[in-house]
Amino acid sequence: MFVASKGACSVERTADGTVLLDETDREIVRVLRADARISNVELADRVGLSPSPCLRRVRRLEEAGVLLGYRAVVAAEHLDRGLTVWTAVRMRVHERGLVERVEAEVVSLPGVTEVHHLAGDWDYLLRVEVADLSAYDRFTRDVLPRMPGIGHVTSFVVLNTLRDDDRGVG
């Protein structure tokens, strides 16, 4: 178990390579997830460190692959993506080469912002963001059917997002 003084910078890992975080690391991550533009001085104050040890911890978390990057969260409707649809996809055939082709293609489709490989009745769950229902209709009629091996598709149109931590909603 990782036990460190507040300013410590070494990274400890479990046998499977998972980075062990102490409470201060977890608080740094929590604050940065809420506001990645916070200054290091303000971050340090919020987590109870002085600025130098805080910055060392942030850099250590970046180098260890805990903090993967920083980004702007933009309202989808301002990018002509006012409609979000979760799209469940079931493969007709599960041949390795075909699955790899579909995966390579689906991650590059315009409007597809997330792709999740699932266990259970459905093989993939896509987050699709498009301008409107007509654009989604074109996606389901023109784009998905051209992909080999796709057997069945079902759609879940988002009416309202009550919580989305990654997009700052809720």
Evaluate whether 50 touches 44 at the Cβ level (below 8 Å): yes
**Each residue's pLDDT tens digit, 82-130:** 899 999 999 998 999 999 999 999 999 999 999 999 999 999 999 999 9
Q: In whole angstroms, what is the distance from residue 114 CA to residue 84 CA?
A: 11
56-69 average pLDDT score: 94
Q: Residue 6: is its pLDDT beyond 50?
A: no
Q: How far apart are CA 161 and CA 55, in angstroms?
A: 34
Task: Report whether 13 contacts 20 (CB < 8 A).
Answer: yes
Query: What's the pLDDT at 168?
Result: 67
How far from 153 is each of 1, 31, 81, 128, 168, CA to CA, in Å? 45, 38, 21, 13, 29
Average pLDDT for the chain? 89
Enumerate the β-bridge partners of residue 112.
128
- The confidence score (pLDDT) of residue 1 equals 38
**What pLDDT was estimated at residue 166?**
76
Question: What is the pLDDT at residue 170?
Answer: 63
Q: What is the pLDDT of residue 25?
A: 95
* pLDDT, average across residues 1-12: 50
What is the structure's pLDDT at 76? 74
**Which residue is listed with tokens 């459905």?**
122
pLDDT at 4 over 50: no
